[in-house]
């Protein structure tokens, strides 16, 4: 795979996002699409109330235009595009309902589950029609196991749901998700080059450029938030890249920050319901560090650093370094 193609894709997507964001942010303000802030969260976040959200539309548009321009068109292309836009649409509907209809929870859990299952089913149909390899590779080894085909597909549907929600949980501080996702996507771009999947490499590159362009306006103090539109779209892209490149389990390492963020929420809920006690001061875990006295920027930089180490470890395991 030509790495120059990936660099060009990153550059074009970045430029598109940087151009689109200043045009889109005033529109969000005029439409009063402002962020709602939890009263029980860190008090420093109260000043963020009203900051334009749904900026993930900028990420999705920049990604889509770049991906359509530079990617080859094959089954991988359609899987990657459907995953990113499908989950992005779920996030958009969730954001829209929260803001326009003043429903703090957005889509109901049942509606969100239905949407995720529907997108997952479409992706499974595409993979089945292409004769997708259903073996699961163990990272760093030559060992793999096959769940006789049909067991694989429920696994990837659950996996995609877990990844998109884990990525969504990570979006809670200015620039946190943008930086962590760009690092994870860079690692997956290398994995895609190893797997010689042009579509997956271009998908990763297009999303890297989009989130970095968005980061220009999302870094502390953020002028815009991506909302579920962006976080679900990013999660869909990362999950689909892992599936297409046969690196499903490698996500646990490269996406380790996402995994920890989600586990912190699960453990907090289970602990409170079973023992009546909280493990963390607040979940997801990035809020725990804030309430422990860390500045927002310190938390973000630390999580970026951890993500960088995990990305390097993931590539080392996959023999990408």
pLDDT digits (tens, 9 = 90+) for 165-184: 999 999 989 999 999 999 99
Q: Which pLDDT tens digit goes with each residue over 225-246? A: 999 999 999 999 999 999 999 9
Q: Which pLDDT tens digit goes with each residue over 262-280? A: 999 999 999 999 998 999 9
Q: Cβ contacts of residue 74 below 8 Å, gap of 6+?
A: 199
Q: Which pLDDT tens digit goes with each residue over 124-144? A: 999 999 989 999 988 888 888
CA gap 52, 29 in Å, rounded: 6
Label residue 180 exposed, middle or buried (CB < 10 Å: 0-12, 13-18, 19+).
buried
Has this prediction a pTM greater than 0.85? yes
Q: Tell me the C-alpha to C-alpha distance, in Å, between residue 292 and each of 107, 298, 299.
A: 32, 12, 11
Q: Is 165 annotated as a binding residue?
A: no
Q: Judge whether residue 42 has pLDDT over 60.
A: no
Tell me, what's the pLDDT at 46? 47
Average predicted confidence (pLDDT) for the chain: 91
Cis peptide before 89 (omega within 30 of 0): no
Q: Give mean pLDDT, residues 17-39.
A: 79
Task: Report how many helices (DSSP H) and strands (DSSP E) the chain contains, helices first.
Answer: 12, 2
Tell me, what's the pLDDT at 37? 54
Q: Is 168 annotated as a binding residue?
A: yes
Give the tokens for residue 243.
């599936």
What angle separates helix 56-70 from helix 75-100, to the nearest 10 degrees?
160
Q: Which pLDDT tens digit goes with each residue over 200-217? A: 999 999 999 999 999 999
Q: Which pLDDT tens digit goes with each residue over 56-100? A: 999 999 999 999 999 999 999 999 999 999 999 999 999 999 888
């Amino acid at each position: 795979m030509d790495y120059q193609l990936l660099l060009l894709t990153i550059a074009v997507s970045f430029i598109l996002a940087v151009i689109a964001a200043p045009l889109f942010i005033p529109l969000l303000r005029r439409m009063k699409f402002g962020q709602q802030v939890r009263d029980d969260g860190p008090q420093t976040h109260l000043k963020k109330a009203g900051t334009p959200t749904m900026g993930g539309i900028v990420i999705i548009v920049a990604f889509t235009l770049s991906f359509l321009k530079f990617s080859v068109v094959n089954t991988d292309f359609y899987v990657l595009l459907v995953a990113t836009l499908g989950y992005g649409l779920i996030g958009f509907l969730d954001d829209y309902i929260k803001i326009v209809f003043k429903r703090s929870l957005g889509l109901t859990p049942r509606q969100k589950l239905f949407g995720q299952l529907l997108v997952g089913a479409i992706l499974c149909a595409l993979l089945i029609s292409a004769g997708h390899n259903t073996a699961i590779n163990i990272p760093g080894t030559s060992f793999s196991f096959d769940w006789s085909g049909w067991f694989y597909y429920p696994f990837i549907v659950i996996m995609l749901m877990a990844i998109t929600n884990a990525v969504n949980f990570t979006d809670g501080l200015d620039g946190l998700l943008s930086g962590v996702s760009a690092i994870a996507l860079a690692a997956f771009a290398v994995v895609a080059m190893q797997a010689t999947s042009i579509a997956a490499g271009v998908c990763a590159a297009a999303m890297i450029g989009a989130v970095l362009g968005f980061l220009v306006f999302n870094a502390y103090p953020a002028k815009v938030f991506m909302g579920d539109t962006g976080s679900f779209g990013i999660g869909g892209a990362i999950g689909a890249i892992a599936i297409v490149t046969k690196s499903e389990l490698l996500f646990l390492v490269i996406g380790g920050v996402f995994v920890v963020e989600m586990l912190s929420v699960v453990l907090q809920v289970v602990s409170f319901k079973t023992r009546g006690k909280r493990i963390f001061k607040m979940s997801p875990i990035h809020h725990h560090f804030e309430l422990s006295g860390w500045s927002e920027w310190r938390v973000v930089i630390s999580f970026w650093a951890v993500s960088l180490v995990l990305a390097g470890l993931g590539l080392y395991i996959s023999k990408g370094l």
